[in-house]
């Protein structure tokens, strides 16, 4: 009865329970309508010019070559494989870039807090300049004004007979595998595990007995011994150093970094490092003074304080923004299209213009980037959990 009368009093468009649902339904309808409108248009205009939506082109022959490649690729391979080459190139530049940017970023960030006036000023200038200039401008400067303006290969700039800089690429010494590389790797890994065990044992003894047991020296000694044993077994070097030499059309031996890849990598690293430096600085500064004072009161050494008190706490603050910088670096690597490095977007654009499959190609690019963002966030989340667990 009561229920009935109240329903009579408030019409449904003023009913607090109905309004939200109604609103949402309207909103959903609008969104769906817009989506349908866009897709109908797209498919309509595709049909009009005789294009059919579909991904079967991926299994067709690509007919073009790719310069930078991590896996074999020839013009007889498929478009699908071309995409894989592109994705691998993206991963390559992102992976190396993230490592180098992190190292440089930490160095600069800590330098900004140095009491050495010169180091601090240089670091500050570095951050201000590289952070406030567009990345694409930096890539162009590195590519056109630096890497392409290097001397031609015959007159390469030679550093110590090991590094060669030319506008055809920069050659660095690299390692060639030998027949015993695998044995070395296995025994080296065993050595590391052993030394870790030894370190833990000695550390435990030190804590229990209260006497210095030099765990680090012991661990180092273990590794050296294991390497010595390997040497006795194989009597061969693990790797052979391959030093580049100048040949008319490129370098022989060593590892050659192409100008496009070089410019992209340097620009990405320098740019991202300037952001990481600020994050690191902020993280260190956010560790409360009391922590340091308490550590000092315990009589810890300065290096120990940095290693065991400041960094573990700073890391916790640093990781979330660091993750987003890593993601930015991955996304920014797409600017490679401007400097002839064939990563995902570069390959995608080539495929797109050879096949005319614009929606399909762009959707593949978006899917891959979303997956990479997801994966990176996931990894950093795990790492974040790990550091958070240490907390209390």
Partner 1 sequence: MKKRLLALLSILLVFSVVLAGCSEEEAVETKSRLDVIKERGKLIGGVNADIPGFGYVASDGSYTGMDIDITRAVAAAVFGDPNAVEFRPLSAEERFIAVQTGEVDVLARNTTQTLSRDASVGLAFAPVTFYDGQGLMVRKDSGIETLEDLEGARISVESGTTTELNLADQMRKLGIDYEPVVFDSQDAAVSAYEQGSADAYTTDRSALVSRKTTLSNPDEHFILDEVLSKEPLAPSVKDGDSQWIDIVSWTVNALVQAEEFEITQANVDTFLDSEVPEIRRFLGVEGDMGEQLGLPADFVYQIIKAVGNYGELYDRHLGPDTVFDLERGQNSLWTDGGLLYSPPFR
Partner 2 sequence: MANDELTTKQVSIPETAPPKTSIGVLGWLKENLFSSWINTILTVVFGTIVYLIVVNTIEWIFFKAEWYVISANFKLLMVGQYPVEELFRVWIAFTLISLLMGLSWGIWKGTMGHLTIAMTAIYIIVASLPFVLIETRIWLLVNIALIIATYFLGKRLTKFKKYILIGWFLMFPVTMILLSGFGVFDRVGTNLWGGFLLTLLIAIVAIVFSFPLGVLLALGRRSKLPVVKWFCVAYIELIRGVPLITILFVAQLMLPMFLGEGVNIDNVIRAMVGFTLFSAAYLAENIRGGLQSIPRGQFEAAEALGLNATFKTVFIILPQSLRAVIPAMVGQFIGIFKDTSLVAIVGLTDLLGMGKNIISNPEFLGTQMEVFLFVALVFLVFCNMMSYASRRLEGALGVGTR
Q: Are 167 and 151 in contact (CB under 8 A)?
A: yes
Residue 261-300 contact track with partner 2, rule CB under 8 A, x = bound: -----------------------xx-x-x--xx--x----
Following DSSP, what letter does each residue of 142-183 receive, concatenated? IIIIIITTSPPGGG-EEETTTEEEETTEEEE-EEEE-TTHHH
Binding window for partner 1 (CB under 8 A); candidates: 64-72, 180-188, 222-230, 263-271: 64-72
If binding is defined by CB under 8 A, does position 238 make contact with partner 1? Answer: no
Binding window for partner 2 (CB under 8 A); candidates: 151-159, 179-187, 209-217, 328-336: 328-336
Alpha-carbon 344 to chain mean position = 15
**Those residues with Cβ within 8 angstroms of residue 187's Cβ, 6 or more apart along the chain or in another chain:** 226, 227, 229, 230, 233
Among 58, 81, 86, 168, binds partner 1 (CB under 8 A): 168
Residue 6-45 contact track with partner 1, rule CB under 8 A, x = bound: -----------------------------x---xxx-xxx
Locate 288 and state its tokens.
């409360």
In the complex, minimum distance from the CB of residue 109 to partner 1, in angstroms, rounded to a whole number: 23
Using the structure block, give the residue that is written with the tokens 């952070």.
131
If binding is defined by CB under 8 A, does position 378 make contact with partner 1? Answer: yes
Phi and psi, residue 195, nearest 5°: -65, -35
How many residues form the binding site for partner 1 (CB under 8 A)?
A: 61
Report the site for partner 2 in 99-128 (rule: CB under 8 A).
113-119, 122, 128
Beta strand spans in 236-285 (E): 239-242, 245-247, 250-252, 255-257
Q: Are 270 and 138 in contact (CB under 8 A)?
A: yes
As a whole number of angstroms, the distance between CA 64 and CA 110 comes to 47
In the complex, minimum distance from the CB of residue 321 to partner 2, in angstroms, rounded to a whole number: 12
Following DSSP, what letter does each residue of 325-380 receive, concatenated? HHHHHHHHGGGGGGGT---HHHHHHHHHHHH--HHHHHHHHHHHHHHHHHHHHHHH
As a whole number of angstroms, the distance between CA 148 and CA 159 comes to 18
Report the DSSP beta bridge partners of residue 169: 166
Per partner kind, with CB cut-offs from 5 to 8 A, the member of partner 1, partner 2, none near residue 52 is: partner 1
Using the structure block, give the residue that is written with the tokens 């082109």.
57
In the complex, minimum distance from the CB of residue 54 to partner 1, in angstroms, rounded to a whole number: 9
CB nearer partner 1, residue 40 or residue 116: 40
Binding window for partner 2 (CB under 8 A); candidates: 40-48, 54-62, 159-167, 190-198: 40-48
By the criterion CB under 8 A, which residues form the site for partner 2? 20, 23-25, 27-28, 31, 38-42, 44-46, 113-119, 122, 128-129, 131-138, 140-141, 144-145, 148-149, 284-285, 287, 289, 292-293, 296, 302, 305, 310, 331-332, 334-335, 337-338, 345, 349, 358-359, 362, 365-366, 369-370, 373-374
By the criterion CB under 8 A, which residues form the site for partner 1? 35, 39-41, 43-53, 63-67, 74-76, 144, 147-149, 152-153, 167-168, 249-250, 258-260, 320, 337-338, 340, 342, 346, 349-350, 352-356, 358, 363, 366-367, 370-371, 373-374, 377-378, 381, 384
């Amino acid at each position: 009865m009561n229920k009935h009368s109240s329903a009579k009093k408030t019409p449904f468009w003023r009913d607090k329970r109905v309004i939200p649902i109604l609103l949402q339904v309207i909103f959903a309808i609008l969104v769906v309508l817009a989506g349908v409108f866009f897709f109908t248009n797209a498919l309509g205009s595709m049909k009009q010019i005789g294009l059919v939506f579909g991904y079967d082109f991926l299994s067709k022959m690509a007919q073009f070559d790719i310069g930078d490649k991590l896996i074999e690729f020839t013009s007889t391979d498929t478009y699908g494989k071309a995409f894989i080459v592109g994705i691998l190139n993206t991963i390559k530049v992102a992976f190396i870039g993230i490592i180098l940017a992190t190292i440089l970023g930490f160095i600069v960030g800590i330098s900004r807090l140095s009491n050495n006036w010169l180091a601090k000023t240089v670091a500050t200038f570095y951050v201000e300049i590289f952070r406030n200039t567009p990345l694409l401008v930096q890539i162009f400067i590195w590519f056109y004004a630096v890497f392409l303006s290097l001397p031609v290969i015959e007159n390469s700039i030679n550093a110590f007979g090991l590094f060669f800089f030319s506008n055809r690429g920069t050659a660095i010494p690299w390692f060639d595998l030998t027949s015993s590389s695998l044995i070395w790797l296995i025994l080296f890994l065993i050595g590391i595990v052993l030394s870790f065990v030894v370190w833990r044992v000695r550390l435990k003894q030190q804590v229990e007995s209260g006497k210095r047991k030099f765990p680090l020296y012991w661990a180092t000694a273990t590794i050296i011994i294991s390497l010595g044993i390997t040497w006795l077994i194989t009597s061969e070097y693990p790797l052979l150093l391959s030093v580049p030499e100048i040949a008319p059309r490129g370098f022989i031996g060593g590892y050659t970094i192409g100008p496009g890849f070089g410019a992209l990598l340097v620009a990405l690293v320098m740019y991202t490092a300037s952001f990481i430096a600020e994050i690191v600085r902020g993280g260190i500064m956010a560790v409360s003074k009391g922590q340091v004072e308490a550590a000092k009161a315990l009589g810890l050494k300065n290096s120990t304080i940095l290693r065991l008190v400041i960094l573990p706490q700073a890391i916790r603050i640093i990781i979330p923004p660091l993750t987003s910088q890593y993601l930015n670096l991955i996304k920014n690597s797409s600017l490679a299209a401007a400097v002839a490095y064939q990563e995902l977007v570069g390959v995608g654009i080539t495929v797109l213009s050879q096949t005319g499959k614009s929606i399909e190609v762009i959707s593949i690019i978006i899917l891959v980037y979303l997956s990479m963002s997801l994966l990176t966030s996931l990894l950093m989340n795990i790492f974040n959990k790990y550091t958070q667990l240490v907390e209390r």
